[in-house]
């Protein structure tokens, strides 16, 4: 059907509906079934599709659900994203500009390891959602950092599912405390951008349950998000949005999720399969070309009964339940004037705690330094966040130069002019988006003689290394992970010149994820991982360098020595390498530190690592019982043994007894960020360990089993810096949860293992027809038998 015919039909329907308005029931919390019964099939199809062409699209919303004036159904407005609300700053016929607060990117938020702080940040973000008239925030995103080159890792929290899940749950609680919703995304196994709309992630059931689904499970169970967004990719053969095992068996039946599932924007293939799988809304809907196709497909399936009307009714029931709890349905009068000043403070508090001090040979905090030689283009155009739907339209971001100047430092003028001229010329010559022109431009080389001139004029050198990434593409090893020759030269020349004069050098990393550090980290005197920490990033770095604040961030992922050490480096992004069709997760559960620790691969900086300006002592570890009886409490005392106040992240790792299946050397099972401890002050911390935390998922049996034997408990300051040890015993195997045999891999896949290799693969019930029905072309290409 042509677009204009479609529009005409829409108008006709709308007019008919409007004229009948008085005859039909109006939506309330109590008459949802009655409303559905009064809908025509055409109306039903509209209800399960998004509406991108709504009346608010000019300034807010990357989409919405349909409204029906006839039934009194208001639209649900949906907006990105993980680092704050992505509002369009300009509105038609309005001279004002509307901004939102840019918070640290998700990875940086996770580096705080502070769930209370994240909940607070969530409250502020949710307040902007509410006050700008939206209903559901399309965030948080809790996919796992499987590989450092994934373009969207900055939108995700961690390589560890427990950390991702707990931080994600805190964010959901915070946002939803405003009476607006969240959409936890991208469900599931969306770990790369290369061919993101088609790639098939082939993952063993165990790795899915323990790693890739686990973060979502924690968020769903602990914070009850209003909605979930299914991901673009396929998992074990089926698109996530068409995956009944994923959306019904696991999400709804096993985890008890009763909200709405929406697709990612233009995903999946078969609209009927999406409905049957329990993907309630197909986004973004009209006016994309797909929408017309989906509309026709759904309507004819209803007419010829290949789609049972009861199925779509169930989807609509969930959508209408969502409608009735939104601010828009309940006539909330939004102000469009959220308190951006107080939110900026919360953004900075989050940035302050996100900073990870990787190296400090005593130079920090800066005591006497006043004059700074500020090297690196990004120092002058500091990166607040990544690109794509994770972006936020903030009014102003504090650059590092500005942050340092506001903090009373003096930036050497000649060097500043050199870089500012460069920045200006990049802006002037930029034909596309200016915002990222400088960071995307290669670093500018600086002659040794220019560096030498700085040595006499300044007290200390700071070099910023910047990296950006975003939705739609992965980065390659050379341009993202590795330092360029110019960057390496800059670090080594500046270090050589300053060290010769007995002056110090600090490197600030303004990056979204992981880069190579091992080859150059011995050169500077200090390295501060400042991430992309939102609009207050430069201000937060200043506080840390000056020592107004004590760094307390810890790495939410490992920093490997080389890219080749990454367990998925050989299989990422899949086969073929360009536009991959299949991505084999051969490393199984050995993602990040689970791999490095078990296979004794050295890292440059380990998971959970981060220095402080003070020291912490750990003592008095106790278990509530040495025999596990439903749960065990582990307590420990953390003491600030240094000279200045600080916060510590106490991390609890468990090592399970040897068993018939592989076990990582140890796994994170709990973490607590202390309050600000004064010198000499102590805090007792208690971790609760339940049976699920002991268990591994046995693919063959489809259950979580906690093996009998001795569990070693490690509590420490990082995954390597273990300070206290104890253990407890499990008398006999515990079958913690019997689940469904769901999401079987459609290809043979061998999980990496230490004790035994489990071969999974094409099972008789996964028939040729099964594969053909869903994906004929892919089947043909791959010649699966
Ligand atoms: C992204 C989602 C986002 C949506 C709406 C998609 O391209 O994958 O994360 O929420 O667009 O902007």
Q: pLDDT of 116-155, one tens digit each? A: 999 999 999 999 999 999 999 999 999 999 999 999 999 9
pLDDT of residue 9: 56
Residue position matching structure tokens 């599709």: 49
Taking a C-beta distance cutoff of 8 angstroms, is the pair 115, 165 a contact? no
pLDDT of residue 673: 98
Q: Considering Cα of 227, then 229, then 234, then 236, what sign does the dihedral take?
A: negative
Could you tell me the pLDDT band of residue 639, with boundaries at 50, 70 and 90?
very high
pLDDT tens string 708-720? 999 999 999 999 9
Q: Is 193 in the pocket of ligand 1 (CB under 6 A)?
A: no
Bin 532: left if φ > 0, else alpha if -120 < ψ < 50, else beta. Answer: beta
In 587-726, which residue ranges form alpha helices assigned H by DSSP? Answer: 593-598, 691-694
pLDDT of residue 363: 96
Residue 738 CA, ligand 1 centroid: distance in Å: 34
* The two three-digit tokens of residue 514, written as one number: 């992981």
Q: 209 forms bridges with which residues in the sheet? A: none
Q: Which residue has the higher pLDDT, 738 or 755?
A: 738
* Separation between Cα atoms, residue 345 and residue 539, nearest integer Å: 11
Beta strand 260-262 with 227-230 is parallel
Supply φ then ψ for residue 209, to 5 degrees. Answer: -65, -40
Q: Is 138 in the pocket of ligand 1 (CB under 6 A)?
A: yes
* The two three-digit tokens of residue 739, written as one number: 């689940």
Beta strand 77-79 with 63-64 is antiparallel
* Separation between Cα atoms, residue 471 and residue 1, nearest integer Å: 32
CB atoms near residue 441 (< 10 Å): 16
To test the pocket of ligand 1, the residue of 63, 143, 189, 265 to mutate (highest count of ligand atoms within 8 Å of its CB) is 265
pLDDT of residue 783: 34
* Separation between Cα atoms, residue 212 and residue 235, nearest integer Å: 11
Mean pLDDT of 386-404: 94
Q: Which of 241-250, 688-697, 776-785 bottoms out in mean pLDDT, i.e. has the lowest?
A: 776-785
pLDDT at residue 15 tops 60: no
Mean pLDDT of 538-546: 98
Residue 156 CA, ligand 1 centroid: distance in Å: 13
Ligand 1 atom with minimal separation from the 139 CA: 10
pLDDT at residue 210 tops 80: yes
Q: Considering Cα of 668, then 673, then 678, then 684, what sign does the dihedral take?
A: negative
* The two three-digit tokens of residue 111, written as one number: 């580096």
pLDDT tens string 322-367? 999 999 999 999 999 999 999 999 999 999 999 999 999 999 999 9
* Separation between Cα atoms, residue 349 and residue 171, nearest integer Å: 15
Taking a C-beta distance cutoff of 8 angstroms, is the pair 215, 165 a contact? yes
Mean pLDDT of 187-197: 97
Closest CA to 612 of 732, 707, 720, 528: 528
**This prediction's pTM:** 0.94
Nearest CA to ligand 1 atom 8: 264
pLDDT at residue 517 tops 90: yes
Q: Is 264 in the pocket of ligand 1 (CB under 6 A)?
A: yes
Q: Is 62 in the pocket of ligand 1 (CB under 6 A)?
A: yes
Q: Which of 71-75, 242-246, 266-270 bottoms out in mean pLDDT, i.e. has the lowest?
A: 266-270
- Whether cis (ω within 30° of 0) applies to the bond prior to 186 is yes
* Separation between Cα atoms, residue 667 and residue 697, nearest integer Å: 14
- For residues 306, 309, 312, 317, the Cα torsion angle rounded to the nearest 10 degrees is -170
pLDDT tens string 603-624? 999 999 999 999 999 999 999 9
Q: Is 80 in the pocket of ligand 1 (CB under 6 A)?
A: yes
* The two three-digit tokens of residue 277, written as one number: 């799988």
Mean pLDDT of 588-592: 97
- Alpha carbon 714 to chain centroid distance? 27
pLDDT tens string 276-304? 999 999 999 988 888 899 999 999 999 99
Nearest CA to ligand 1 atom 4: 265
pLDDT at residue 784 tops 60: no
* Separation between Cα atoms, residue 647 and residue 526, nearest integer Å: 20
Q: 710 forms bridges with which residues in the sheet? A: 729
Residue 32 CA, ligand 1 centroid: distance in Å: 29
Q: Is 106 in the pocket of ligand 1 (CB under 6 A)?
A: no
Residue 265 CA, ligand 1 centroid: distance in Å: 6
Q: Is 423 in the pocket of ligand 1 (CB under 6 A)?
A: no
* The two three-digit tokens of residue 507, written as one number: 């490197």
* Separation between Cα atoms, residue 529 and residue 357, nearest integer Å: 6
Closest CA to 58 of 117, 165, 133, 136: 133
Buried residues in 745-765 as b, exposed as e (16+ CB within 10 A): bbeebebbeeeeebebebeee
pLDDT at residue 725 tops 80: yes
- For residues 39, 45, 49, 54, the Cα torsion angle rounded to the nearest 10 degrees is -60
Which residues does the annotation mark as catalytic? 264
How many Cα neighbours within 13 Å face the side chain of 89?
10
Taking a C-beta distance cutoff of 8 angstroms, is the pair 205, 760 a contact? yes
Closest CA to 385 of 470, 462, 463: 470
DSSP string, 136-170: EE---B-----STT-TTGGGS--SSHHHHHHHHHH
Taking a C-beta distance cutoff of 8 angstroms, is the pair 652, 162 a contact? no
* Separation between Cα atoms, residue 279 and residue 623, nearest integer Å: 44
pLDDT at residue 16 tops 60: no
Nearest CA to ligand 1 atom 3: 389
Taking a C-beta distance cutoff of 8 angstroms, is the pair 285, 52 a contact? yes
Residue position matching structure tokens 């950390």: 163
Could you tell me the pLDDT band of residue 27, with boundaries at 50, 70 and 90?
very high
Q: 429 forms bridges with which residues in the sheet? A: none
Residue 299 CB-density burial (10 A; 0-12 exposed, 13-18 middle, 19+ buried): middle
DSSP string, 707-721: -SEEEEEEEESSSS-
pLDDT of residue 775: 36
* The two three-digit tokens of residue 287, written as one number: 């006016």
* Separation between Cα atoms, residue 155 and residue 141, nearest integer Å: 6
Distances (CA, A) of 654 to 634, 637, 650: 11, 18, 13
pLDDT of residue 749: 85
If you average pLDDT over every residue of the chain, what do you get? 92
Nearest CA to ligand 1 atom 9: 389
Could you tell me the pLDDT band of residue 10, with boundaries at 50, 70 and 90?
low
Distances (CA, A) of 154 to 59, 390, 596: 25, 9, 22
* The two three-digit tokens of residue 558, written as one number: 């490992």
To test the pocket of ligand 1, the residue of 76, 79, 129, 138 to mutate (highest count of ligand atoms within 8 Å of its CB) is 138
Taking a C-beta distance cutoff of 8 angstroms, is the pair 74, 67 a contact? yes
pLDDT at residue 62 tops 90: no
Q: Of how many residues is the chain composed?
A: 785
* Separation between Cα atoms, residue 234 and residue 241, nearest integer Å: 8
What beta strand segments (E) does 587-666 contain?
603-605, 616-623, 631-640, 649-655
Residue 153 CA, ligand 1 centroid: distance in Å: 14
How many Cα neighbours within 13 Å face the side chain of 135?
22
Could you tell me the pLDDT band of residue 441, with boundaries at 50, 70 and 90?
very high
pLDDT tens string 449-485? 999 999 999 999 999 999 999 999 999 998 899 999 9
Per cent of the chain over pLDDT 90 is 84
- Give the list of residues 6+ apart from residue 51 with CB closer than 8 angstroms, or none: 63, 64, 65, 66, 67, 75, 284, 285, 286
Residue position matching structure tokens 């020349």: 493
């Amino acid at each position: 059907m042509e677009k204009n015919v479609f529009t005409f039909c829409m108008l006709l329907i709308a007019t008919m509906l409007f004229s009948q308005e008085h005859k039909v029931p109006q939506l309330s919390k109590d008459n949802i079934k009655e409303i559905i019964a009064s809908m025509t099939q055409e109306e039903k199809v509209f209800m399960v599709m998004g509406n991108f062409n709504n009346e608010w699209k000019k300034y807010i919303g990357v989409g919405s659900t349909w409204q029906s004036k006839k039934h009194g159904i208001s639209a649900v407005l949906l907006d990105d994203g993980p680092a704050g609300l992505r509002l369009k700053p300009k509105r038609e016929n309005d001279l004002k500009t509307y901004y939102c607060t840019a918070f640290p990117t998700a990875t940086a938020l996770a580096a705080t390891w502070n769930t209370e702080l994240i909940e607070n940040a969530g409250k502020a973000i949710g307040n902007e959602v509410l006050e700008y008239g939206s209903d559901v925030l399309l965030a948080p995103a809790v996919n796992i950092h499987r590989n450092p080159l994934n373009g969207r890792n900055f939108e995700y929290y961690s390589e560890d599912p427990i950390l991702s899940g707990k931080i994600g749950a805190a964010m959901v609680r915070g946002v939803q405390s405003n009476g607006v919703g969240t959409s936890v995304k991208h469900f599931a196994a969306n770990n790369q951008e290369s061919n993101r709309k088609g790639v098939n992630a082939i993952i063993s059931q165990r790795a899915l349950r323990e790693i890739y689904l686990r973060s979502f499970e924690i968020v769903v169970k602990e914070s009850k998000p209003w909605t979930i967004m299914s991901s673009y990719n396929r998992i074990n053969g089926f698109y996530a949005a068409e995956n009944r095992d994923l959306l019904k068996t696991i999400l709804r039946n096993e985890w008890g999720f009763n909200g709405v599932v929406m697709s990612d924007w233009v995903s999946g293939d078969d609209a009927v399969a999406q409905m049957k799988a329990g993907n309630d809304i197909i986004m973004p809907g009209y006016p994309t070309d797909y929408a017309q196709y989906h509309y026709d497909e759904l309507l004819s399936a209803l007419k010829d009964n290949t789609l049972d009307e009861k199925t779509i009714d169930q989807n609509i029931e969930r959508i209408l339940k969502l409608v009735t709890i939104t601010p828009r349905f309940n006539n909330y009068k939004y102000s469009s004037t959220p308190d951006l000043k107080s939110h900026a403070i919360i953004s900075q508090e989050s940035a302050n705690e996100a900073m990870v001090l990787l190296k400090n040979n005593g130079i920090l905090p800066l005591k006497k330094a006043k004059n700074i030689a500020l090297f690196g283009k990004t120092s002058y155009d500091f990166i607040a966040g990544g690109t794509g739907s994770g972006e936020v339209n903030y009014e102003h971001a504090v650059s590092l130069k500005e942050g340092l100047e506001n903090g009373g430092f003096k930036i050497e003028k000649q060097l500043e002019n050199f870089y500012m001229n460069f920045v200006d010329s990049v802006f002037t010559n930029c034909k596309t988006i200016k915002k990222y022109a400088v960071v995307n431009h290669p670093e500018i080389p600086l002659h040794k003689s220019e560096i030498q001139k700085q040595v006499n004029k300044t007290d200390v050198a700071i070099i910023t290394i910047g990296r950006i990434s975003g939705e739609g593409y992965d980065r390659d090893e050379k341009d993202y992970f590795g330092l360029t020759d110019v960057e390496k030269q800059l670090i080594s020349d500046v270090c050589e010149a300053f060290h010769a004069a007995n002056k110090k050098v600090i490197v600030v990393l303004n990056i979204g994820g992981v880069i190579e550090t091992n080859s150059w980290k011995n050169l500077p005197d200090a390295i501060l991982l400042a991430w992309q920490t939102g609009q207050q990033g430069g201000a937060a770095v200043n506080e840390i360098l000056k020592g107004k604040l004590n760094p307390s961030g810890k790495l939410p992922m490992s920093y490997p020595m080389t890219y080749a050490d990454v367990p998925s480096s050989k299989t990422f992004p899949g086969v073929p390498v360009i536009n991959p069709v299949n991505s084999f997760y051969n490393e199984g559960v050995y993602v990040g530190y689970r791999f490095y620790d078990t296979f004794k691969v050295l890292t440059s900086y380990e998971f959970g690592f981060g220095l402080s300006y003070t020291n912490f002592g750990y003592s008095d570890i106790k278990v509530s019982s040495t025999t596990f009886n439903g749960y065990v409490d582990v307590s420990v005392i953390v003491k600030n043994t240094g000279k200045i106040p600080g916060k510590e992240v106490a991390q609890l790792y468990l090592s399970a007894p040897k068993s018939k299946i592989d076990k990582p050397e140890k796994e994170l099972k709990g973490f607590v960020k202390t309050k600000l401890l004064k010198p000499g002050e102590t805090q007792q911390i208690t971790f609760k360990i339940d049976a699920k935390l002991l268990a591994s998922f046995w693919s063959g049996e489809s259950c979580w089993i906690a093996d009998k034997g001795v569990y070693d408990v490690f509590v420490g300051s990082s995954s390597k810096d273990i300070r206290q040890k104890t253990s407890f015993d499990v008398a006999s195997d515990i079958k913690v949860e019997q689940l469904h045999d769901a999401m079987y891999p459609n290809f043979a896949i061998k999980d990496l293992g230490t004790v035994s290799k489990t071969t999974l693969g094409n099972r008789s019930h996964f028939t040729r027809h099964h594969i053909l029905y869903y994906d004929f072309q892919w089947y043909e290409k791959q010649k699966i038998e």
